[in-house]
Amino acid sequence: MNRRLSVVVGLLLFVVGLPMLQAQEFVKSQRVRAIVDKAIEYLEADLTGAPQMAPSAYGQILVGYTIYKYHDIYQVPGGKNHPKVVAGRKRALEATVDVAADGYTQEKKYYTAAISAIFFLDTDPDAHRDEIATLIDVIQKGQKKNGAWGYPGSSPKEGDNSVTQFVVLALWMAKNRGFDVDVDVLASATNWFLRTQAPDGAWGYHGNDPGVFRRVSQEVKGETGGDNSWGHQSDAACGASSLYILAGTLQFINQKPKPKTEPKKQVNVSNAVKLKTDDEKFPVDPLTDKVDRSYLMQSLQLTDTWFGRHFKFSTKSGRRQAYQNVFKNRAVAIGLNDDEPARWLYYSLYIYERYETFRALANEQSLMVEPGWYSRGVAFLEAEQRRLGNGSFSGPAQTQVAGPAMDTCFGLLFLMRSTLKSVSNLARDTQFISLGELPEDAANARIVDGKIVTTELGGDIGNLLDQLEGLDPEKFENMKKFPKVLELSEDEEERQAQIDRVKSMISEGAPAARRIAIRAYAREQGLDAVPILLYALTDPDVIATQEARNALRFISRRLNGFGLPDNPTPEEKAEAIAKWRNWYLQVRPEAELEEDGAPGVNQ
């Protein structure tokens, strides 16, 4: 038995894939669907002349995005080709050119860049990789030294938390889709939110940055003076949701969905790896040392306390009741009275849903059960829609800027649990970036819910495996002749045998077959594929090595991995394998990888 094959025999794997989320049934209830359908009908009507719907504004992007999410969440066909989605895509493409142009200084530059990136990342990231990369580059270059974003030309010390929260969402989505996002950019943004949090756990509109990690009043804008909207839940939600996203992306807290509770079944047990079957806790493995974890965790606790005390579904702000002893003599000047309207009401609900989603992920809570806050939100939105009578939502303040089209989008994104759907899509989507050397049809192959799905391949999985095992490397283009759909057997024993055949191809197949096997096996097995992927890093075929490297990066969510160039030396391979091995043992501390059996170490 050759050295590489003997390594495979000595590895243990469990039949447990990446955690997936199914559609949350409470979002699809008859009651919610009725509210949503009325609001969608409003957005599908002619919105010409409505605020933010001018050709130069970003409203068409948000409307198109919202309608696409409706089609995605409720599995309504034709989402990408809906006229409003097409119009949103056209505007996002135009915006990409605009914001990337030298000297572009329109005040909404980073709003528009972030919303355009979010649109592409959620609707069709593969088709718009160039545009996304351009937008992320513009965004990262636009970060201020204090870590925030704002309007072009604004004070270098100023930061706009509304702009910054959109940017943070775009960066999170981009990083999880495999785009290059600088960890230092994320760390700097995290520190901005840590420095500009008020002592009670809330945030203002523009951060009053003391320059040190000491929580100071956010009542007044630090640079320009005037009311800073502190105490409004819209601005508090901007800071809270962003801080949770950043903390999870930097791996200080959990950000992966909790899988369904099912007993783990062990197969092919060997002495190489031994794992306990009890639930795994999130392993803290920060990507940066530039954020104080203790201070960060305290900030998250503070904001949770604030929302527990102050958040409500209401057209009124409630600031007078909560803050009358703080504002004191300024109450009249800033209009602080019992009837003060809620600031950006529907926008705040949209961001609040994001905060609650990432907070639940951090606490490793189930996302399948309808939370109480969502039930209260549904009742509130149902009543508001009935009051207006035309299917829309429209807030009590700032309507001259936002308007019913934007408010309706934000209300819908709350109702449809937009963030939860994005998290679900990322958890299910195991597509890796094509390396380019493989034929286009092979690069599109993936396993989804027990099926190998691709635009070119299909049919019986046994036939595919037979052809892969007997593949002539000189005739790889014959892959195009395969049928459309390949299904793994529903029989557990047969299914495992088919998975084992894919695994064996990683050591014994032709180079082209090994490349596909590595990618397919990683998709099917997730974290449990890591030992085999460590072995695959030793493959003499450089493309197969790249497949293993990219699979490890995807599974670990470490998009830069541990280096390893496209054509590595044996020493570079050994170094990368050692680092990945250490990472795996941190993620699964119960695992025991034998030193003399560690793939590639003794090659």
| pLDDT for 114 beyond 80 | yes
Unique residue bearing structure tokens 């528009």: 112
Which band of pLDDT confidence, cut at 50, 70 and 90, is reported for residue 269?
very low
Cβ atoms 498, 489 nearer than 8 A: yes
Q: Is the sign of the CA dihedral 212, 218, 224, 228 positive or negative?
A: positive
Residue 197, amino acid = Q
pLDDT value, residue 463: 54
Q: Which of 174-188, 280-294, 339-353, 358-372 has the lowest mean pLDDT?
A: 280-294
Specify the 3-state DSSP secondary structure of 417. coil
Q: Is 227 helix (H, G, I), strand (E, B) or coil?
A: strand
Cβ–Cβ < 8 Å for 311, 233? yes
How much is the average pLDDT of 18-29?
64
Of the candidates 142, 152, 158, the residue with the CA atom closest to the CA atom of residue 204: 158
User: Which residues fall within 8 angstroms of residue 43, CB to CB, at 6 or more apart?
Assistant: 63, 66, 67, 84, 405, 408, 409, 412
242 vs 465, higher pLDDT = 242
Residue with tokens 């939860």: 420
- pLDDT confidence of 238, banded at 50, 70, 90? very high
Residue 361 structure tokens: 């992920």
Is 5 within 8 Å of 508 (Cβ atoms)? yes
Per the CB < 8 A criterion, the answer to whether 349 and 357 are in contact is: no
- Answer yes or no: pTM beyond 0.75: no
Confidence at residue 55, expressed as pLDDT on a 0 to 100 scale: 78
State what percent of residues in the chain have pLDDT above 70: 75
| Tokens read off for 501 | 């055949």
d(CA 159, CA 150) in angstroms, rounded, equals 5
N- to C-terminal Cα separation, the chain: 15
The predicted structure's pLDDT at residue 273: 30
Choice among 49-63, 87-101, 308-322, 559-573 with the minimum mean pLDDT: 559-573
Mean pLDDT of 243-247: 98
From start to end of 222-348, where are the E strands?
266-267
Tell me what pLDDT residue 246 has. Answer: 98
What CA–CA distance (Å, rounded) separates 154 from 151? Answer: 6
Q: How far apart are CA 371 and CA 374, in angstroms?
A: 5
Averaged pLDDT score across all residues of the chain: 79
What pLDDT score does 34 carry?
97
Tell whether the model's pLDDT for residue 387 goes beyond 70: yes
| Reduced 3-state DSSP string for 22-42 | CCCHHHHCHHHHHHHHHHHHH
Q: Is 365 helix (H, G, I), strand (E, B) or coil?
A: coil
Distance CA 229, CA 218 (A): 8
User: Which pLDDT does position 280 carry in this prediction?
Assistant: 52
Q: At 14, phi and psi to the nearest 5?
A: -110, 150
Q: Which two tokens stand for residue 494?
A: 């047969």
Checking if the pLDDT of 550 tops 80, the result is: yes
Q: 353 vs 401, which has greater pLDDT?
A: 353
Tokens (6 digits) for 81: 């080709």
What's the whole-number mean pLDDT along residues 506-513? 74
Sign of the Cα pseudo-torsion (59, 60, 64, 70, in order): positive
pLDDT given at position 416: 97
pLDDT of res. 130: 93
Indicate the range of 169-183, 314-328, 397-411, 413-427 predicted with least confidence: 314-328
Contacts of 63 (CB under 8 A, 6+ apart): 43, 47, 53, 84, 87, 88, 405, 409
Domains of the chain are 3-17+434-597 (no CATH), 25-428 (1.50.10.20)
Q: Which of 21-35, 53-67, 158-172, 449-463 is the most confident on average? A: 158-172
pLDDT at 224 over 80: no
Residue 189 pLDDT: 98
Tokens 């969502």: give the residue: 374
Q: Which residue has the higher pLDDT, 111 or 5?
A: 111
Taking the C-alpha atoms of residue 452 and residue 443, their distance in angstroms, rounded to an integer, is 12
| Per-residue model confidence (pLDDT) at position 252 | 95
Decide: 304 and 297 in contact? Cβ < 8 Å.
Answer: no
Which has the higher per-residue pLDDT, 576 or 439?
576
Least confident of 186-190, 280-284, 476-480: 476-480
Mean pLDDT of the 445-461 span: 40
What values do phi and psi take at 575, rounded to 5? -65, -45
Residue 110: pLDDT band by 50, 70, 90 thresholds? very high
Region 356-371 average pLDDT: 91
